[in-house]
Amino acid sequence: MAKARSAAGGPRPPRPALPAAGAGRVGLRGYLRGVWEELKKVVWPTREELLRMTGIVVATVVIFALLVGGADYILSLAVKQAVTSQAASATAAASPSAITLPTAVPTQNPIVSP
């Protein structure tokens, strides 16, 4: 088995003991009380920080949308050009004398006697 390494600053402080399985919060009310206590510990951003971070996110989304939209437009032009040039070369290669049209064959309807 490998030896446990200790941090350079010395041994770690002991971990706090976990509550017993049946102790502590019980049920939905206890759970919601714990959630509320944790939400009190959260450091919420100020209005200015929130607006600044929202502006950064919106600007980033707009920039990437323009990049993806521009790349899509350029690639669609290239594909259209490739398709139209292939179609033009295919029609130029086929001369009118090489095209054979099917001839109409007269059909005879058999007479069926009763």
- pLDDT-derived band at 72, boundaries 50, 70, 90: very high
Q: Is residue 4 predicted with pLDDT exceeding 60?
A: no
- pLDDT-derived band at 14, boundaries 50, 70, 90: confident
- pTM over cut 0.75: no
Better pLDDT: 37 or 110? 37
- Please give the DSSP secondary-structure letter assigned to residue 23: S
pLDDT at position 69, please?
98
Which pair of tokens denotes residue 39?
């939400």
Rounded to an integer, what distance in angstroms lies between the CA atom of residue 70 and that of residue 54?
Answer: 24
Residues 36-65: tens digit of each pLDDT: 999 999 998 999 999 999 999 999 999 999
Q: Is residue 16 predicted with pLDDT exceeding 90?
A: no
Rounded to an integer, what distance in angstroms lies between the CA atom of residue 87 and that of residue 79?
Answer: 12
